[in-house]
């Protein structure tokens, strides 16, 4: 009797120790204080931990690509069941680690290669960029909109194109002047690139860089801007019109819940790819959380008009109705709906067709209105 009781207690203890908690571990490419990419992932981790009582998390920050595999080894030794790798450059390490530890579940942000125990995920901004482009087109007096861009890769090009399509939908003659700084984080380059664009007459700015530098520089000269990645309204309350904000927690919570429920296992992730958008609430259009457009700029956008299907509508109404549509479970509108030609006149998306996921992920062409160097532009 006593032995049975003992065994029972032991079994219960084991069940409690193993069954209840799920341990998820995160590999970050930058410091969690970078106020951009890694900061946003860490916010997602914290929110997931707060929302899921059975979740236990760990993280290692500022992991260089070559160090990713040793970190994976360490995480597995420490009992991590799910490992999130949050940088594109971790791809080889993740695939190798997944082979080495077939029972551990991996998820790779911005990744393109999957395996039975490797899923990929991304929260994408292209719809939000289009909406911000509409506002930028309406607000620019010079017809020149500045874009300070990180690296010439498909993700950034897709965002610039979506933004430019928006700008041109309001002002068909407007130009989007692009400057590459070849860095995700470099405030000095962002500052001087913005100064160069200001000197060339740009009066509205969007950007891909991890600090509010572009916003602060533009505001000094009275130019409007759109925040990136985290809410940036407080850095220039009179000049930040809107921006792109990410909610990684939405993806993390969904993924971890499905792991916990046994929907995702280390054997069935081959086709699990999150490419989450406005409708999934993984991204938000906003100058701040819950502030899609800075109230100070609403009257200007209400006054500005654009033509949609032969009818005049206010830019503000157009933005809000498209936002509502794209936030709904079944959006009807997509910025990359044909006919779309690139800036050299080649048809990229035929009339009536929407860009496929594959076309979005491999976009190299430049939209009409984009002005500037465009490395890797197809002939």
Told to check if 176 binds other proteins by CB under 8 A, we report no
Contact 177, 144 (CB under 8 A): yes
Least spacing, CB of residue 369 vs other proteins, in Å: 14
Can you read off the two tokens belonging to residue 303?
């006054």
Told to check if 372 binds other proteins by CB under 8 A, we report yes
Among 185, 205, 226, 248, interactor with other proteins by CB under 8 A: 185
CB nearer other proteins, residue 114 or residue 247: 247
Which residues, other chains included, contact 320 with Cβ-Cβ below 8 Å and sequence gap of 6+? 292
3 state SS of 109: strand
Half-sphere exposure of 103 (CA within 13 A, CB side): 4
Site size for other proteins (CB under 8 A) = 38
Told to check if 187 binds other proteins by CB under 8 A, we report yes
Least spacing, CB of residue 234 vs other proteins, in Å: 5
Told to check if 179 binds other proteins by CB under 8 A, we report yes
Among the listed ranges 51-59, 208-216, 253-261, 276-284, the one in contact with other proteins (CB under 8 A) is 208-216
Among the listed ranges 86-94, 158-166, 229-237, 354-362, the one in contact with other proteins (CB under 8 A) is 229-237
d(CA 209, CA 109) in angstroms, rounded, equals: 18
Give the orientation angle of helix 213-220 with respect to helix 187-199, to 10 degrees. Answer: 30
Residue with the two structure tokens 């993700």: 155
Contact 179, 149 (CB under 8 A): yes
Among 200, 314, 327, 337, interactor with other proteins by CB under 8 A: 200
Among the listed ranges 9-17, 204-212, 278-286, 292-300, the one in contact with other proteins (CB under 8 A) is 204-212
d(CA 25, CA 32) in angstroms, rounded, equals: 14
Sign of the dihedral through C-alpha 82, 83, 86, 88: negative
DSSP 8-state class, residue 355: P
Told to check if 373 binds other proteins by CB under 8 A, we report yes
Among 21, 35, 89, 95, interactor with other proteins by CB under 8 A: 35
Binding footprint of other proteins on the chain (CB under 8 A): 31-35, 39, 152, 177-182, 185-189, 191-193, 195-197, 199-200, 210-213, 216, 230, 234-235, 371-373, 375
């Amino acid at each position: 009797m006593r032995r049975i009781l003992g065994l029972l207690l032991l079994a219960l203890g084991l069940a409690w120790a193993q069954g209840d908690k799920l341990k998820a571990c995160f590999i970050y490419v930058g410091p969690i204080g970078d106020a951009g990419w890694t900061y946003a992932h860490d916010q997602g981790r914290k929110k997931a931990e707060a929302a899921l009582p059975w979740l236990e998390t760990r993280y290692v920050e500022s992991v260089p690509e070559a160090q990713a595999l040793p970190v994976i080894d360490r995480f597995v030794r420490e009992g991590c069941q799910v490992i999130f790798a949050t940088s594109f450059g971790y791809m080889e390490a993740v695939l190798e680690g997944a082979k080495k530890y077939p029972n551990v579940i991996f998820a790779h942000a911005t990744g393109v290669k999957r395996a039975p125990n490797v899923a990929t995920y991304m929260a994408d901004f292209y719809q939000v960029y289009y909406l911000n482009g509409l506002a930028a087109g309406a607000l620019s007096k010079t017809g020149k909109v500045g874009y300070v861009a990180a690296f010439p890769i498909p993700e950034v090009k897709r965002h610039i194109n979506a933004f430019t399509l928006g700008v041109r939908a309001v002002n068909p003659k407007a130009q989007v002047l692009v400057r590459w700084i070849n860095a995700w984080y470099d405030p000095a380059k962002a500052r001087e690139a913005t100064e160069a664009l200001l000197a060339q007459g740009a009066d509205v700015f969007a950007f891909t860089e991890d600090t509010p530098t572009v916003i602060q520089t533009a505001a000094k000269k009275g130019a409007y801007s759109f925040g990136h990645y985290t809410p940036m309204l407080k850095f220039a309350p009179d000049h930040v019109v809107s921006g792109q904000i990410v909610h990684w927690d939405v993806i993390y919570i969904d993924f971890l819940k499905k792991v916990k429920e046994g929907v995702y296992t280390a054997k069935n992730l081959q086709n699990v790819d999150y490419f989450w958008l406005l409708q999934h609430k993984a991204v938000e259009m906003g100058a701040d959380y819950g502030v899609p457009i800075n109230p100070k700029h609403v009257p200007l956008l209400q006054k500005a008009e654009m033509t949609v299907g032969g009818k005049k509508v206010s830019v503000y109404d157009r933005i809000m109705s498209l936002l509502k549509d794209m936030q709904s479970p079944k959006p009807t509108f997509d910025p990359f709906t044909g006919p779309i030609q690139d800036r050299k006149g080649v048809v990229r998306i035929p009339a009536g067709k929407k860009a496929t996921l594959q076309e979005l992920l491999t976009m190299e062409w430049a939209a009409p209105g984009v002005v500037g160097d465009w490395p890797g532009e197809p002939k």
